[in-house]
Amino acid sequence: MSFLIALLAGTATGVLSGFGVGGGTLLLLYLTAFAGMEQQLAQGINLVYFLPAAAAALPAHFKNGYVDRAAALPAILAGLVSAGLCAWAASGLDTDLLRRCFGGFLVVIGLRELFRKPSATAR
């Protein structure tokens, strides 16, 4: 049963990641709060998990014209290198520090979204 729940959580967060909704954040919450995983391991898994989710979404984004083709390859390469380096760095940092940094990041992003004025194109 727990395998089925993990599979469903992974599928749902992968689909949400593909749509750019924040599936990675939800995956981290699932792994740490419900699966009982250490923060460092969960963040490393999230970084590695994002790569196939992004690769699966990329063809649809190209097809719909959402990707600047000239910027795609440098962005993909930079993302791959950054994901690997950050996963490696996270494995050496204190778990409590990572939790505080991630919590602060979520608060800042939440406040920014809450108080941001809508752009003219978003109406």
Tell me which residues of the chain have a pLDDT lower than 50: none
Task: State which residues form the domain around 76.
Answer: 2-122
Confidence (pLDDT) at 122:
57
67 secondary structure, DSSP code: S
pLDDT single digits (tens) 31-64:
999 999 988 788 888 878 877 877 888 888 889 9
H/E stretch holding 8: helix 2-18
Rounded CA separation 43/31 (Å) = 9
Q: What domain count does the chain have?
A: 1
Query: Is 0.85 topped by the overall pTM?
Result: no
Spell out a b/e string for 54-67, using b for 16 or more CB atoms within 10 Å of the CB, else e.
Answer: beebeeeeeeeeeb
- Report the 10 Å Cβ neighbour count for 118: 7
